[in-house]
Amino acid sequence: MKEFISVNNKHAAPYEFYAHGFEPNSEIPARVSEIERVLIEQKVGELIYPDKFSQVPRELLEKIHDPAYVAFILESAKREQREIPENKYRYPTSFPYRRSNRVPNNDVGALGYYSIDTYTPVHEDLTDAALVSASGAYSAAVDILHGGNTSYSIGRPPGHHAGYDYMGGYCYFNNAMVAVETLREKGKVAILDVDFHHGNGTHDILDMQRMIDVADPDLMFPYFSGKKRMFEKPECFNYPLPLGVTNEQYDAILQRTLRRINDFNPYSLVVSIGYDTYKDDPIGGFQLTTDYYERMARQIMELKKPTVFIQEGGYNVAAIGHNARSFIKGTE
């Protein structure tokens, strides 16, 4: 398997803004550099770095996101700000009222308009980081188009909370959808989202594609989900799980999910993989163990589809390398 690695260490906000104030940010460069360290140490895979990535075409980003949102990330993130003096991590703080379609002509307003939360700051080096991460996903998918069987984009920022015209949950461009859009020319694509959190952004961008997602937005971020719309869309299945689920409980749902994907009979599969389902994740709440990730991957591989894995969450830095190593073992 080829691993497309992007640490993006200039995108490193020290804080996220959570409910009552600033807290240390969980989405940090060490998440990826620690995976990289373990893979190198254990001589695993074929690591490919950004200088060898194919850059994601802007037109592709504009197919999955609102072109005005793409311009917001690619251009206004870098531009000097009228309202905010220091061009460093800027947090959205003012959000549109329901159904407002008017983009504010104001930097503070635009930040809120294109966001769903205060965990997703924008700064001058964000554009490059978001592009490189999306390009890792693109390159991983292109590798499948060229005949590869599995590839894994191990990048950050993650993507599955980024919707058609918004960032959120540490995510800016929806990397999984970049891979889906790239693979689509070859046939039906299924998406399996096994991050701890609900992939609201992927769901928002999808229209008639089948989506399977295991999480419970009633309990945890992003709190709001497409649940209602989801029930109207027979192609989309969501299995909300309670906090504290064990390997065995999780596995029963995974098996059911994989059977549905098998029935759908896609040409290829995109997997949003998050290790925030790990038992000691600082912001998750499941009980999965390091060994379980190998079993998870092995079962996904039994579908026998060309598969692109996309890194989403996972915030226990001491464990993330071993969890990724275990997962990759299951694909071998």
Nearer to Zn ion, 72 or 119 (CB): 119
What is the closest distance, in whole angstroms, from the C-beta atom of residue 35 to ligand Q9C in the complex? 15
- Rounded to whole angstroms, how far apart are CA atoms 44 and 297? 15
Question: Is 309 among the residues that bind ligand Q9C (CB under 6 A)?
Answer: no
Beta bridge partners of 236: 211
Which of 23/302 has CB closer to ligand Q9C?
23
221 binds ligand Q9C (CB under 6 A): yes
Segment contacting ligand Q9C by CB under 6 A, of 58-66, 92-100, 163-171, 223-231: 163-171
Q: Does 16 bind Zn ion (CB under 5 A)?
A: no
Query: With CB under 5 A, what is the number of residues at the site for Zn ion?
Result: 6
Contact (CB, 8 A) for 174 and 160: yes
Among the listed residues 283, 285, 317, 329, the single contact to ligand Q9C using CB under 6 A: 283
User: Nearest Cα to 3, choosing from 178, 189, 202, 152?
Assistant: 152
Collapsed DSSP state (helix, strand, coil) of residue 79: coil
Residue closer to Zn ion (CB basis): 27 or 143: 27
How far is 150 from 155, CA to CA, in rounded Å? 16
Residue 226 binding result from ligand Q9C, Zn ion, none, given CB thresholds of 5 to 8 Å by partner type: none
By the rule CB under 6 A, 218 interacts with ligand Q9C: no
Q: Which stretch binds ligand Q9C (CB under 6 A): 56-64, 87-95, 169-177, 259-267?
A: 169-177
Among 65, 161, 210, 325, interactor with ligand Q9C by CB under 6 A? 161
Q: Is 313 in the site for ligand Q9C (CB under 6 A)?
A: yes
Q: Which is nearer to Zn ion, 53 or 196 (CB)?
A: 196
CB of 200 to ligand Q9C, least distance (A): 10
CA 329 to chain centre: 21
Contacts of 215 (CB under 8 A, 6+ apart): 193, 195, 196, 197, 198, 199, 238, 240, 241
Q: Tokens at residue 59, please?
A: 């037109």
Nearer to ligand Q9C, 273 or 303 (CB): 273
If binding means CB under 6 A, how many residues of this protein chain bind ligand Q9C?
17
Task: Say whether residue 136 binds ligand Q9C (CB under 6 A).
Answer: no
> Alpha helix locations (H) across 146-272?
175-183, 200-205, 227-232, 247-264
The answer to whether 125 touches 10, Cβ cutoff 8 Å, is: yes
Q: By 3-state DSSP, what share of the chain in percent is helix, strand and coil, each rounded to 5?
A: 40, 15, 45
- DSSP alpha helices (H): ranges in the chain? 30-41, 58-64, 67-71, 107-113, 126-145, 175-183, 200-205, 227-232, 247-264, 290-301, 317-329
DSSP string, 274-306: -GGGBTT-SS----B-HHHHHHHHHHHHTT---
Catalytic residue (choose from 11, 161, 197, 198): 161
Q: Are strands 307-311 and 236-238 parallel, antiparallel or unpaired?
A: unpaired
Name which of 169 and 226 has its Cβ closer to ligand Q9C: 169
221 binds Zn ion (CB under 5 A): no
Q: Which of residues 253-282 bind Zn ion (CB under 5 A)?
A: 274, 276
Catalytic: 161?
A: yes
Going by their DSSP bridges, the two strands 189-193 and 15-18 should be labelled as unpaired
- Interface with Zn ion (CB under 5 A): 195-197, 274, 276, 313
Catalytic residues: 161
- Interface with ligand Q9C (CB under 6 A): 18, 23, 119, 158, 160-161, 169-171, 195, 197, 221, 274, 276, 283, 312-313
